[in-house]
Amino acid sequence: MTRLVRELLADQRFRYFGNESFLNAGPTRQAIRDYWLRAILPPGFDNAAPGAAAMDQQEVGRRVMPHRFQPVLDDLRARPRYVLSIGSRMDGDIRDRRLAQHFFEEVADRGIARDTPGVLLLGAIHAAAAPFELGHTTTRMILEQHGYPCTSIRILTDFANDNGADDGVLPLASFADDADPPVIRLTSLHLQPRICFSTRAAPDSPFFSVRDQSSDSGRSLAEQYEFMVLHRG
């Protein structure tokens, strides 16, 4: 994730970086600003340290986020661009609207024109061009409704746990016929450690025929994301 963000921001035409993990208000926002402008890092977070389990989530975010995104922030310090803190503590259906609202507030505050290119780091559900969940309006969809053209790049890894595989997909037809087919692991289909490709390279792209295993909207990966990046290892 961080690697791709840095590669994108190496292109100087991208004039801002917004991040869902940078909360719009509170200690995390201030910690990001302190490092970006003054190279001041907070203490790191050690989950094995005494009292760590009882630490307020605001304090955890203040300690974790500047360290997690330090390479990106270093790049932005060397080649200054706007940093947009668009994150929200709200969950559920309102989260997409809050992320979009924070984006609108941040660009308005800085006078950023609507046609200015930038990079936003969002979760897969919020970045989808078509609903990920049935009846759901994503953050990207809200931005496009307000005249911001978007392109989404979905990053998938070979990570898997009891909740499923990050790169797992199902045939789109299985949504309609309520079948229970085996999950297809996308990273198992290539040998390279990293590969990037368009999901819409041709009208018969196979990505029009598969869906994310967690998506219940009946929309394909190609409808939701223009590009995919697969990481192995």
pLDDT tens-place values along the chain, 233 residues long: 789 999 999 999 999 999 999 999 999 999 999 999 999 999 888 887 887 788 888 888 999 999 999 999 999 999 999 999 999 999 988 999 999 999 999 999 999 999 999 999 999 999 999 999 999 999 999 999 999 999 999 999 888 888 788 888 999 887 666 667 888 888 877 667 778 989 999 999 999 999 998 898 999 999 999 999 998 76
Whole-angstrom Cα distance, residue 231 to residue 82?
28
Q: Are 145 and 193 in contact (CB under 8 A)?
A: no
Angle at 187 between CA 182 and CA 193, to 5 degrees: 165
Provide the pLDDT for residue 190: 67
CB-CB contact of 47 with 18 (8 Å): no
**Rounded distance between C-alpha atoms, residue 97 and residue 108, angstroms:** 16
> Residue 54: what pLDDT?
80
Compute the distance between CA of residue 117 and CA of residue 14 in angstroms, rounded to an integer: 5
pLDDT of residue 123: 96
Predicted pLDDT of residue 48: 79
pLDDT score, position 173: 82
- Residue 44 · residue 63 · CB < 8 Å: yes
Q: Residue 152: its pLDDT value, please?
A: 98
pLDDT at residue number 178: 61
The confidence score (pLDDT) of residue 52 equals 77
From 71, 64, 66, select the one nearest 46 (Cα to Cα).
64
**Cα 29 vs. chain centroid, distance in angstroms?**
18
Sole residue written with tokens 């997409």: 96
Torsional sign, CA 13, 16, 113, 100: positive
Look at phi and psi of residue 62 and say left if phi exceeds 0, alpha if psi is from -120 to 50, else beta. Answer: alpha
CA distance 42 to 50: 18
